Structure 1
């Protein structure tokens, strides 16, 4: 049992937690604790690659969105030459918020306090009373917006606050193999379909990140109606079939559900399947053709889910993809961003049908979304209670599982899909950051 510290002993407690993870234990209190939240803001989010935007959200010069890395509000904008920049959403003069809208189009940003004006790429170009007030002592090139390091993969824009953190490619560590299922459904890649759903919930971000790292265990219970009404192309008895894949030491994980009677690439239109076979590698085709449901998390807080959904029970239905970001705003509280991703080159009819399936299943008022948040908010509430201070949860499914030797994809891949291996990997990496043992 973990002895939870509430004072300066937090450092030793964190090391104890990390050792417990190796044995299949994780403290309940971690899902709603002020000290843990503060340490995540200081040691986790500034040092990881955090998702900021999809390139298709800012397709034209001047387009911008505002997003977060931890408690830092970031402007992500496309300049007049088409390049993407990220800058802290704070005027360098007295710290006022520059962009008060979450999205828009602007070639320049002007502070509403003292009027300092910046290009959308971050350079300071306008200072009222420059000659009279500063008398030549202010050099505009030294006072641009604070730049944020960015990198991209297949349309995803990530930001990192620590210049010592390795490249995004190294950070992903081979997880790109699995991300391609969501992002390369065709030769033109992916795009967002409409703005993200966006709401605040009394839920800890880590519960969501864990669930989407491959929790197939909850599905036959929390989403039982899906089986009873025939909306899943599987049954409770076959739902556990498939693989759990994780990148050891990176925290990323994905669950790949497989149904024996589900058609290869079921739920995709034929023309899109043909494109995917030209775009993906032979190993990816071998794996993805067998996948019914794919639910994965890029450490720390970006997740994806793909599955078929049909309004007609028993039919294969249409594939949809939801991309989700869990932004922590306090212990046990987060902002949820949820996008629908569609293949850029697909027909408008398919895009609209996929968006409809996403909305009904995992939009803000989606049926499956309501099931999950009902449970997640209650878990978060329980984690705050005094009696759980020294209570651990078991993470012992699949302890000692050996890698599936026949699986062609990267990482540690085990069977069945219902497994705790991905979660131990997730929490081990989380603990490394909080302890401070992650090498720059």
Structure 2
């Protein structure tokens, strides 16, 4: 998965990238990485073409022939369950002249027919029909002209990922120890988590890395960016997290990933505010005692699997007069340019939940972190300013650097938790950016082929 740094056409300046190593060791990040065409072009090739990219959840394709249009980077693919029951990720491009064979966002189909010249393909990708074949393609071997498909497609807990690099390590190997935290989110109930409805999508004038890093543990922005949500009581301040309070943990350097956790004391049971009708289905056999204990006390979990898959497990309400409802939101930060991102957001709940509760959780999820949600509108009002700053000539010619030093070394007062039963480095503080630094260290490694695994050890804890 590593590649040498070369000055290929459209690639980022290799000297600039390599020099970033010293910056990251100090908790600094060049501003231009959030809006630069050369860097973005290199990301599509070095990161999105070589990483496990989230495609969707198996519950979105319950029946043979079910499909949905998805992307890897900016490349269009068809996420489909074939008539043989196998889930595939097919390049949405006809083998004849390259036109897209699927132009409907989702549905069920036995075949896909190109609107240009009528070549048709089974939902497994095989070419099945060519107009005027006897007159114009008598010697055509149709078995050699199937739709291209992603060479690696694997799933974990129903989450389907694809990798365009046939030599990439397996998905489970890539996730590594971080599976410990994913299992808490996705293996909690007997039937696992299922998607409710279609993913919501909206465009933001921001770089894809901004949302991905935010979900790694930017707890300190809540008190400022989301102040209005706290003031009206949609979420209590303890659940939201505030710097200096001892109810939160940041876990970083876990196979290159990070997670932020907020919880209550050891004696309370919260389970993200799921009601008893849901928690009765939680399966203690699928989790260790340590995992279950953490889940039992949890108010919020949010994390990112590099590059662009994030999750938010939380309990919220849409009114002070109604009880909170727990739900799991998963999202993909889809790159659509150096300064533009399409956010995809799915709402999930335990499979065993009643239809009434699923409707309630969906409503709460959309009202909080949907495209017009109370939290979401706050974030997307702030993020574009970062991308605008990153695109300035001043930032480029002066190599402006951002401060990612919160909680780093002597900057912070908290130390790594001893005896933490999960993997990674856990710090009991919300006043830190160790998770964000982890994200950018992983980004640096994928972009340059140079590991920075010793960053935190060299300069102190995060």
Shorter-chain TM range is: over 0.9
Deviation string, structure 1 residues 402-435 (Cα, Å, up to 9, x no partner): 5422221112222213321111111011011111
Change (3 A) 1:263 1:233: farther
Alignment of 1:335-346 (within 5 A): 335-346=342-353
Tell me the equivalent position of 2:18: 15
Deviation string, structure 1 residues 38-80 (Cα, Å, up to 9, x no partner): 0001111010000001111111111101111112111111111
CA deviation after TM superposition for structure 1 residue 296, in Å: 0.8
After alignment, is 429-438 or 193-202 more displaced?
A: 429-438
Tell me the equivalent position of 1:75: 78
Residue pair 1:111, 1:117 contacting (<8 A) in 2 also? yes
Alignment of 1:310-389 (within 5 A): 310-313=317-320, 317-389=324-396
Name the CA distance, whole Å, in 2 between partners of 1:175 and 1:375: 30
Name the CA distance, whole Å, in 2 between partners of 1:431 and 1:343: 36
Q: 1:217 aligns with which of 220, 228, 234?
A: 220
Change (3 A) 1:266 1:315: farther
Which structure 1 segments of 5+ residues have no match?
Answer: none
Residue pair 1:51, 1:159 contacting (<8 A) in 2 also? yes
Give the ranges of 4+ consecutive aligned residues of structure 1 lying more than 6 Å apart after TM superposition: 5-9
Q: 2:40 aligns with which of 23, 37, 47?
A: 37
Deviation string, structure 1 residues 54-109 (Cα, Å, up to 9, x no partner): 11111111110111111211111111122111111101111111101111111111
RMSD between aligned alpha carbons? 2.2
Residue pair 1:305, 1:322 contacting (<8 A) in 2 also? yes
Name the CA distance, whole Å, in 2 between partners of 1:180 and 1:433: 25
SS state at 1:196 partner = strand
CA deviation after TM superposition for structure 1 residue 316, in Å: 6.1
CA deviation after TM superposition for structure 1 residue 392, in Å: 0.8
Name the CA distance, whole Å, in 1 between partners of 2:62 and 2:12: 49
- Confirm or deny that 1:256 pairs with 2:269: no
CA deviation after TM superposition for structure 1 residue 284, in Å: 0.7
Name the CA distance, whole Å, in 2 between partners of 1:48 and 1:255: 23
Name the CA distance, whole Å, in 2 between partners of 1:289 and 1:61: 37
Q: Tell me how many residue pairs correspond in the alignment.
A: 432
SS state at 2:329 partner = strand
Name the CA distance, whole Å, in 1 between partners of 2:156 and 2:350: 16
Name the CA distance, whole Å, in 2 between partners of 1:273 and 1:180: 16
TM-score normalised by L of structure 2: 0.88
Change (3 A) 1:203 1:351: same
Change (3 A) 1:123 1:262: same
Which structure 2 segments of 5+ residues have no match?
Answer: 1-6, 452-462
Change (3 A) 1:405 1:316: farther
- Confirm or deny that 1:433 pairs with 2:446: yes
TM-score normalised by L of structure 1: 0.93
Alignment of 1:253-292 (within 5 A): 253-260=258-265, 263-265=269-271, 267-278=273-284, 279-292=286-299
Name the CA distance, whole Å, in 1 between partners of 2:369 and 2:437: 26
